Amino acid sequence: MIEDKRLTDTELEAITDRITGDWVSRAAVDFADAVAFHESLPPHKRFAAVLENAEAVLCQPRAGVPRLDEHVELLQHLDEEGGADLLPTTIDSYTRDNAYEKAAEGLARSRETDSSELNGFPAVNHGVDGCREVVRRVDAPVQVRHGTPDARLLAAVTLAGGFQSFEGGPITYNLPYTSAYDLETTIEYWQYVDRLCGAYTERGVTINREPFGPLTGTLVPPSIAIAIVTIEGLLAATQGVRSVTLGYGQVGNLVQDVAAVRAMAAIGAEYLPDSVTVTTVLHQWMGGFPRDEARAHGVIGLAGATAALVEPTKVITKSPQEAVGVPTAESNAAGLRTTEQVLRMLDEQSITLDGVDREQALIERSVRSLLDAVYEAGDGDIARGTVRAFDAGTLDIPFPPSDAAAGDVLPARDDDGRVRLLKFGAVALDDETKRIHRARLDRRADTEGRELSFRMVADDVSAVSDGRLIGRPGDD
């Protein structure tokens, strides 16, 4: 069974040999050559250094188009017109499914028709040289953002290609994205990715890793999300990663969001080894957005305000076109500017919210309880424990598209919009915590004069896109 153990150099090499050859040559991902390229980059393009030395909240969008020149222009636009501090390269979905042939066809069609026939940048098809060209031509640090359960080749190519930050992880890029792999398999894949990052780090090129905290983006209780990104941080640290950004998706209740990011930073500092520098990211609302762009700017503004209050290291922004799909460059830059405006206006204000400390204590206690259950299930081994805890449902997420989680928990908002659990399944929370969740939900049921039921959950799922936070009855 899988163990939380560092891969040896021989194992790392053997896997690299195995995954290269078809789409990318073994020679193209040669370490010495790649390290020399990274060393040639100026300090303001070093992702981990820029992130870890930030003096204000950094803003980063998502963005990726298939053709190289257009992709570079898009990133330059987001830098110059959006004021992005960190840049992304969002990978297309064929590449995320390791369907490189289809990605190649989409890229060829995009070139023929002068349009975008893929929903992101097919980095493996562009190869190491294509990636280096992107990194060379843009003027800020660039990160690979994707959603790839088996990201081994993508990591080998993009890291050799000069990218210094890589999103995802074995749980956060499994549960929301696929049912094709069990957790033991994705943990094994990501041990390679993390070991590769560790190997670069040991050669003086720090690679930042960022677990994808929002998971399904649908009413994920903060404690569950934080436990999962902490596990991914621990697994990465074992492989030699020294820069970890823990991620969290905004739920929309200001007090709970501020409490959650604080709890995440505290848990990260406590659980991850001292050798790891921990930073944080707040994802602007990942659930359904209003179609009306004015209302969408409202959602983005509230996320900006949340970021201003809790000061994560960075915030991942949304665009006012979120409800429609991949945004135009202009709309994407608008989301950045909306965020920046709110951040600046709140920058010098010091605001205290009632109830944050209590909420933070509740979240931290819950995270500890979940992590205890994982360690216990694995007899002290976090990798083994993760597989067993998800099997037993002691660690679980709501609405998993993947069979790798039981999906026996059901969330709902309480009377002031904080995400609680309505159904606990087998999840490892203590009785007192469950009592608090239940009491809070009972109060909402009272307010609304209806029973706690799945109807409430469904109402909550569509509430924000319908124009409010809580799915109250009679709101249509």
Distance CA 377, CA 314 (A): 34
Sequence-distant (≥ 6) Cβ neighbours of residue 23 within 8 angstroms: 100, 124, 125, 153
Question: 120: annotated binding-site residue?
Answer: no
Residues 143-172 that bind ligand 8ZB (CB under 6 A): 147
* 3-state DSSP assignment of residue 247: strand
Indicate if the alpha-carbon torsion angle 465, 117, 210, 83 is positive or negative: negative
- Pick 199 or 405: Cβ nearer ligand 8ZB: 405
How distant, in Å, are the alpha carbons of 154, 170, 182 from that of 149?
11, 7, 10
188 is catalytic: no
For the chain, state the CA radius of gyration. 21
| Residue 185 binds to ligand 8ZB (criterion: CB under 6 A) | no
Residue that is written with structure tokens 């803003």 in the block: 59
Give min distance, CB of 332 to ligand 8ZB, in A: 6
- Told to check if 119 binds ligand 8ZB by CB under 6 A, we report yes
Among 120, 213, 290, 304, binds ligand 8ZB (CB under 6 A): 120
Binding mask 11-50 for ligand 8ZB (x = CB under 6 A): ----------------------------------------
136 carries a ligand binding annotation: no
Active-site hit among 46, 67, 96, 384: 96
Q: Round to whole Å and give the CA distance between 273 and 267.
A: 11
Question: Per-residue DSSP letters for 432-466?
Answer: HHHHHHHHHHHHHHHHHTS---HHHHHHHHHHTTT
Burial (Cβ within 10 Å: 0-12, 13-18, ≥19) of residue 286: buried
Cα 91 from Cα 122, distance rounded (Å): 6
- 42 marked as part of a ligand binding site: no
At its nearest, how many Å lie between ligand 8ZB and the CB of residue 366? 24
Point out the catalytic residue in the list 167, 340, 359, 364: 167
The DSSP output letter for 149 is S
Nearer Cβ to ligand 8ZB (323/436): 323
Residue with tokens 């309480």: 414
Any catalytic annotation for residue 96? yes
Which one of 4, 79, 194, 322 is in contact with ligand 8ZB (CB under 6 A)? 322
Chain residues 292-321 in contact with ligand 8ZB, contact rule CB under 6 A: 318
Residue with tokens 């360690």: 375
48-87 mask for ligand 8ZB (x: CB under 6 A)? Answer: --------------xxx-----------------------
Binding site for ligand 8ZB (CB under 6 A): 62-64, 90, 119-120, 147, 318, 322, 326-327
Which residues are annotated binding-site positions for L-glutamate? 62, 96, 145-146, 167, 173, 177
- Just list the catalytic residues: 96, 167
